[in-house]
Amino acid sequence: MRLTGDRILFGGRVQYHFGLESPPEIDNIFARLHETLLETFPSLHDIAITHRWCGPVAITWRRTPMIGSRENDNLWFALGYSGMGVSLATLCGRALADLVTGREEPWSNLLYLKDPLMPLPPEPLRIIGFKAGYLGMRFMDFVERFR
């Protein structure tokens, strides 16, 4: 959740679907997110939701972005913006623009450029790991309510 002027940006829980398939019913995701919003802020019950969006999540094994290029090639990539997609996409876009044009210096210490790209494990290990991480975050949210 984040305050944005006179608005609230309220993020949802990522749901992983086996084999990276798209969620079957996007509206159910928004309904559950709206319920969570009202549990968190009951006074917003009569306030209209003006914007909502959803889509596939680009995630890496460490949950941080990756920026790089293929060896001996001028094909660059940036991926893995899970959690803060808008801000990280902007940062990675700026980095890519400089890297493509040969201006590497401003980004030489950027962590996202240093680590090799590691693929996610195959199914079913991928879904087990994702579900375990999800349950861990939900548990941390639950514990935080009682602090």
**pLDDT tens readout for residues 102-145:** 898 888 888 777 666 677 788 899 889 888 988 898 899 889 88
Percent of the chain with pLDDT over 90: 12
Number of domains in the chain: 2
Residue 24 has pLDDT above 70, yes or no: no
Looking at the fold, whether 13 and 39 belong to one and the same domain comes out as yes
- Confidence (pLDDT) at 83: 64
Model confidence band, residue 46 (pLDDT cutoffs 50, 70, 90):
very high
Task: Please report where in the chains the tokens 């996409």 appear, as a residue.
Answer: 89
Looking at the fold, whether 6 and 52 belong to one and the same domain comes out as yes
* Domain with 18 in it: 2-57+122-144
Q: In whole angstroms, how far apart are CA 77 and each of 31, 105, 141?
A: 34, 18, 33
CB 39 within 8 A of CB 141: no
Looking at the fold, whether 28 and 46 belong to one and the same domain comes out as yes
